Chain A
């Protein structure tokens, strides 16, 4: 998959999981891994970027005697999901057009 496209999809995945509720790093990797391949090293820069873009907020809380970071989606993050879904509809239209064109030529 194209790196740029994959990055956009992973952004949307992280935000979509967070829309369900607050989460932390390991759980995010576990949840997202069920439908797209993601590793800790892929997630880390995504979280940093989304935080910098104010699409999520981070809070630290004590858990089993250590600190754990919890991530929550912001309104900008929710708006980004809507935006990505809108873009995706356009991609699907283009995909269908390309597939039909190809089908016509092969027929």
Chain B
């Protein structure tokens, strides 16, 4: 086998083993074989003196910490799963980690749901102020009208008219800022959840 063929096989093996610095490793063995050739050994013999591609990869992996190897394996499996739509390791990890990830997933879901409810409650609460002012004004006017029928005393009717004018005026005054505030908060909710989704992904 000649040098280029050996280096090509080594590259394929390193790529399959998901080793990061492939070019650097290839340069190293290129240099090693070239130095042997220059020391007077034939190209075939220089390549033959090299270890097998499997042995080179095995020695390289032995140097790596176990955690790094596992992370590489998981990363590779994740990439494969993304590309091909399958990932045996991910399925195995999902099954083994079931008692851990399920409660965490439930907690995350509950927290997100609570946040969703709280944000919409703020919108409803703000809008309710406007509705309450409007409703008070209408009721006040109704009470004032009833005063002419004799159902309500004059004093209460006039008080109701005053209250209706006050709350109605306030409702008209606050309509625009409250409506804008509600729209702003409601508009923020999807973007907040988009950011959370992006952070999780």
Give chain A's interface residues, CB within 8 Å of chain B.
3, 24-27, 29, 39-42, 44-46, 48-49, 64, 66-69
A41 near B31 with CB under 8 A, answer no
B51 within 8 Å of A by Cβ? yes
* B59 touching A45, Cβ below 8 Å: yes
Decide: A41 near B60, CB < 8 A? Known: A25-B28, A69-B28: yes
The closest CB in chain B to the CB of A26 belongs to B35
* Residue ID in chain B nearest A49 by CB atoms: B63
B29 at the interface (CB under 8 A from A): yes
| Main SS at interface, chain B | helix
B28:A24 contact, CB within 8 angstroms: no
User: Known: A40-B51, A44-B28. Contact between A25 and B35, CB under 8 A?
Assistant: yes
What residues of chain B lie closer than 8 Å to A45, measured between beta carbons?
59-60, 62-63
Q: Main secondary structure on chain A at its contact with chain B?
A: helix
Residue B32 at the chain A interface, CB threshold 8 Å = yes
Cβ of A49: which chain B residues have Cβ within 8 Å of it? 63
**Tally of contact residues, B, Cβ under 8 A:** 20
Q: Are B51 and A41 touching (Cβ within 8 A)?
A: yes
* B32-A26 in contact (CB<8A): yes
Q: Which residues of A contact B50 (CB under 8 A)?
A: 40
A-chain residues with CB within 8 Å of residue B27 when the two chains form the complex = 67, 69
Q: Do A26 and B51 have beta carbons less than 8 Å apart?
A: no
**Quick check: B63 and A26 within 8 Å, CB to CB?**
no
The residues of B that contact A64 with a CB separation of less than 8 Å are: 38
Known: A66-B34, A67-B31. 8 other contacts (CB 8 A): A25-B28, A40-B32, A41-B56, A44-B28, A44-B56, A68-B35, A69-B28, A69-B31
A39 to B62, Cβ gap below 8 A?
no
By a CB distance below 8 angstroms, the chain B residues around A25 are 28, 31-32, 35
B76 at the interface (CB under 8 A from A): no
Cα–Cα distance between A45 and B35 once the two chains are bound (Å)? 19
**CB proximity to A under 8 Å, residues B18-37:** 21, 25, 27-29, 31-32, 34-36
Residues on the B chain within 8 Å of A48, using CB: 21, 63
B35, A41: Cβ atoms under 8 Å?
Answer: no
Shortest Cβ distance from residue A21 to the other chain B in the assembled complex, whole angstroms: 17
Closest 9 CB pairs of A and B: A45-B63, A26-B35, A41-B59, A41-B56, A40-B32, A41-B51, A44-B28, A26-B32, A25-B32
